[in-house]
Amino acid sequence: EKLKEISELLKKIVGDDDNDNNEEESSSDDKEDDDEDD
């Protein structure tokens, strides 16, 4: 439960940026794979 509280706090601090950052990480991995495919 404490972890959830920290996660929520972090989300509050970063805001939507947190979600964007998470997506960016996935995108980066995908981009790398795409680059290799190219």
**Residue 2 CB neighbours (<10 A):** 6
Could you tell me which residues come within 8 angstroms of residue 21 by beta carbon, excluding any fewer than 6 positions away? 14
pTM of the model: 0.34
Give me the tens of pLDDT residue by residue for the chain, a chain 38 residues long: 899 999 999 888 877 554 555 555 555 555 556 666 66
